[in-house]
Amino acid sequence: MPETALDRFLRYVRIETTSKDNAEQVPSTPGQLEFGALLAGELRALGAAEVAQDEHGYVTATIPDPRPAAEQAARPIPVMGWIAHLDTAPDTSGKNVNPKLIDYQGGPIRLESGAEISESEGLRSCIGDMIVVTDGTTLLGADDKSGVAAIMTAADRLLNGSVEGVPYRHGKIRIAFTPDEEVGRGAEFFDVEKFGADFAYTVDGELPGEINKETFSAEQLRLKVTGVDIHPGTAKGVMVNASRALAGLAAALPAGRAPESTEGREPYIHLCSIAGDVGSAEAHIILRAFTDEDMSENRRILDKLIARQKEAVPGSVWTAEYKKQYPNMAEGLKDCPLILTRLEEAVRRAGAEPVWKPIRGGTDGSCLTEKGLPTPNIFTGGNNFHAVTEWLSVNKMEAAVRTLLNLASLFAGEESI
Ligand SMILES: [Zn+2]
């Protein structure tokens, strides 16, 4: 019996691959190397070609085009990439994940720890499915081990399966498992040229048939204020309190433009952290928007507040360092309509209704698309990512496997993209 996507998933979540913010090296944690080495071994055992794991932990492999060379030359099929990430989010522990299987019949789900998964619309759409949850003390790791399991299972089917004795028809497929996606570094050392695909799909989304061709554009602002510290007893006219100056700016950030009060395509400005003393203070702020206009407006709001605080606290010295993090991938995908329409068709054939949903976040695909590898995103069947209430519908993960197989056969009928 070949291993199912569920068998693989349950094995993979037991490996701790939590990534770490602000690490010097990629991968940020050794568990990702261990997981990657396991996958490389499994890919070799399945019969994949060109299996490699590089020093940054990227695992790549090839499912060769099974057709005779002459036919391949006469009728080339574009090379497709399948990508998922090895790490899990640092927000919640990914150590000793203890997955539980539930035959889901509706209602909220009470976890062993007492935490509860409320009955969302997404959960209701999975009544009758087999669902995997945690014991409520860790995240599950469906983000993105369900994506990894779906790709491994689809690869197994293409390499070792057949339809009534006839091997699957498909072009060359490249696989990549990437480190440190959750800390925004998944594409940093991704060698697009060496990968050699014409386009790719990440399998890193949530519920079927959610597919994504649009993400936020992301920037961050590192804000530093320098003041003047002196004994408070003799401070009159001398002390410049950097923390008070910066706190004034934090308090003036528009509440209506915060993550907690925005949704859909609305932009936000998010104060991630603030720290300091009298002499100096620092804030880390992130800016998110789907359009250039909204991003410019984010920056204009912040610049105006900084100017105002500078004036309000004479003697305070401000440095504002903006840095681009990732771009909205919609821009890079608009010239490749077939990559999107084929995906819609593949999802439909997998039994789900495709819905394009803008991601209020980024994926590896955002940066890869910018690097010249057009990469929209496919659902995994998971939900409530990064939290102890994370869950996965096994049935929907299987729909992700079918979507990948459908893509392989749809593109096998195409001469070019
Ligand atoms: Zn993810």
Asked whether residue 94 falls in the same domain as residue 191, the answer is: yes
Return the amino acid letter for 415: E
Distance 406 CA to ligand 1 centre (A): 22
The band of 215, judged by pLDDT with boundaries at 50, 70 and 90, is very high
Mean pLDDT of 114-133: 95
Q: Among residues 16, 42, 65, 87, which one is catalytic?
A: 87
- 417 lies in some domain: no
Mean pLDDT of 282-304: 97
Neighbouring C-beta atoms of residue 222, cutoff 10 Å: 13
Q: End of a domain among 302, 326, 350?
A: 326
Give the pLDDT of residue 213. 92
Distance 171 CA to ligand 1 centre (A): 26
Asked whether residue 186 falls in the same domain as residue 79, the answer is: yes
Whole-number Cα distances in Å, 87 to 1, 19, 59: 29, 6, 13
196: left (phi over 0), alpha (psi -120 to 50) or beta: left
Reported as a single tens digit per residue, the pLDDT across 179-205 is: 999 998 899 999 999 999 999 999 999
Q: End of a domain among 274, 299, 326?
A: 326
∠ CA 158-204-380, rounded to 5°? 65
416 pLDDT more than 50: no
Reported as a single tens digit per residue, the pLDDT across 3-52 is: 999 999 999 999 999 999 989 999 999 999 999 999 999 999 999 999 99
Mean pLDDT of 248-268: 96
The band of 414, judged by pLDDT with boundaries at 50, 70 and 90, is low
The band of 212, judged by pLDDT with boundaries at 50, 70 and 90, is very high
- 300 lies in some domain: yes
**Which residues are within 5 Å of ligand 1 (an ion), measured at CB?**
143-144, 204
- 16 lies in some domain: yes
Distance 308 CA to ligand 1 centre (A): 39
CATH of the domain at 395: 3.40.630.10
Is 180 one of the annotated active-site residues of the chain?
no
- The dihedral over CA atoms of 34, 12, 95, 19, expressed in degrees to the nearest 10, equals 60
- 393 lies in some domain: yes
Distance 146 CA to ligand 1 centre (A): 10
For residue 232, the enclosing domain spans: 217-326
Q: Among residues 16, 181, 204, 398, which one is catalytic?
A: 181
**Cis upstream peptide for 27 (omega within 30°):** yes
Asked whether residue 332 falls in the same domain as residue 236, the answer is: no
Asked whether residue 159 falls in the same domain as residue 25, the answer is: yes
Of 168-172, 250-254, 310-314, the poorest mean pLDDT is in: 168-172
- 20 lies in some domain: yes
Distance 87 CA to ligand 1 centre (A): 8
Distance 185 CA to ligand 1 centre (A): 12
Reported as a single tens digit per residue, the pLDDT across 40-99 is: 999 999 999 999 999 999 999 999 999 999 999 999 999 999 999 999 999 899 999 999
Neighbouring C-beta atoms of residue 361, cutoff 10 Å: 13
Distance 151 CA to ligand 1 centre (A): 14
Is 191 one of the annotated active-site residues of the chain?
no
The structural domain count of the chain equals 2
Distance 187 CA to ligand 1 centre (A): 13
Asked whether residue 142 falls in the same domain as residue 24, the answer is: yes
- 160 lies in some domain: yes
Asked whether residue 144 falls in the same domain as residue 20, the answer is: yes
Distance 208 CA to ligand 1 centre (A): 15
Asked whether residue 177 falls in the same domain as residue 67, the answer is: yes
Give the pLDDT of residue 350. 93
- What sign does the dihedral 204-207-212-217 (CA atoms) show? negative
Average pLDDT score over the chain: 94
Distance 363 CA to ligand 1 centre (A): 7
Q: End of a domain among 307, 326, 345?
A: 326
CATH of the domain at 309: 3.30.70.360
268 pLDDT more than 60: yes
Give the pLDDT of residue 307. 97
Task: Tell me the two tokens of residue 416.
Answer: 């070019």
Give the pLDDT of residue 342. 95
Distance 251 CA to ligand 1 centre (A): 32
Asked whether residue 286 falls in the same domain as residue 391, the answer is: no
Asked whether residue 29 falls in the same domain as residue 131, the answer is: yes
The band of 142, judged by pLDDT with boundaries at 50, 70 and 90, is very high
Asked whether residue 117 falls in the same domain as residue 256, the answer is: no
Asked whether residue 169 falls in the same domain as residue 309, the answer is: no
Asked whether residue 205 falls in the same domain as residue 222, the answer is: no
- 367 lies in some domain: yes
pLDDT more than 90, % of the chain: 90
- 75 lies in some domain: yes
